Amino acid sequence: MDVNARRDEDLTILVDKDTRLLVQGITGREGAFHTEQMVQYGTNVVAGVTPGKGGNSVAGVPVFDTVREAVEATGANTSIVYVPAPFAPDAVYEAAANGIGLIVCITENIPALDTSLLYHYVRSQSARLIGPNCPGVITPGVAKVGIMPGAIHTPGPLGLVSRSGTLTYEAVAALTAAEIGQSTVVGIGGDPIVGMSFREVLELFENDPETRCVVLIGEIGGTAEEEAAEYVQEMSKPVVAFIAGRTAPPGRRMGHAGAIISGAGGSAQEKVRVLEQAGAHIATSPAEIADLVDVAMASG
């Protein structure tokens, strides 16, 4: 069996060929640049929103003044937010209030209190939030919703979920070089509070017929990996995990706002211990991930 056999595009998680993407903040520098990249990748970008810029276009994508106008005109069902931090929460609220089912927030430096309020509001609208401070999500060869470099991804059976954008790219490039393609890659974000959790994405991969193995990339700080481990032990699919920050001293923030060891929790050693007990294959460096995936898929 070819482990990288082309997946059925109707059997993907989060984004697929039916994704109708709306870009909030499309006329800004980042929004315009990444809109063009997503369009070139083949993502179905149907609209953009920048208040006061309605009637213009970016990379052939029509711009509207409000999300409501964009949804009514184009049937957008997914949004990506490239709005500066002071205004990004309002952009997420607007998307959720107007029926957008999946919201990907790229923006960083949103205060945790604002994100906490967003988290609960988005869920009250039966929508999903990925991020903030994340690279987005990609189903290789089908749709790219975010800032990740599309060229390093290739279709295949390996699902990947990560808190770190840079480590995601490193791992994906190594997997592709080892001829291990990906079903979907999800960057959930590195802030202390994020929309979708490791566990929620793992559940999607567990129920995805085209995903045969999952890679989880975590880091120090918080309890997200420990909560994921509780679900890993229930999964029928093998999981390979890598935890960054093994040498970080307690009390010192490393990289992401959420990457800080406090008290007795959040250390890389504790996260490795609980994931290993749950049955995950543990990589000690990103370079080991591809080899462990081969082993996991062969034994799983």
* pLDDT score for 257: 46
* pLDDT score for 263: 47
Residues contacting 131, CB < 8 A, separation 6+: 81, 104, 105, 106, 107, 187, 188, 189, 191, 194, 195
* pLDDT score for 220: 85
Distances, alpha carbon 38 to alpha carbons 6, 23, 50, 139, 195, in Å:
21, 10, 18, 12, 22
* pLDDT score for 10: 46
CA distance 281 to 171: 15
* pLDDT by residue, tens only, the chain of 300 residues: 344 544 444 446 999 999 999 999 999 999 999 999 999 999 999 999 999 999 999 999 999 999 999 999 999 999 999 999 999 999 999 999 999 999 999 999 999 999 999 999 999 999 999 999 999 999 999 999 999 999 999 999 999 999 988 999 999 999 999 999 999 999 999 899 999 999 999 999 999 999 999 999 998 888 899 999 999 999 999 999 999 866 555 555 545 544 444 444 568 889 999 999 999 999 999 989 999 999 989 876
Full set of structural domains in the chain with CATH: 21-130 (3.40.50.720), 136-299 (3.40.50.261)
256 labelled catalytic? yes
Q: Which of 34, 120, 153, 256 is catalytic?
A: 256
Q: Which helix (H) or strand (E) holds 226?
A: helix 224-232
Q: Global pTM?
A: 0.91
Helix residue ranges per DSSP H, 88-195: 88-97, 112-124, 165-177
Nearest to 44 by CA among 72, 15, 83: 15
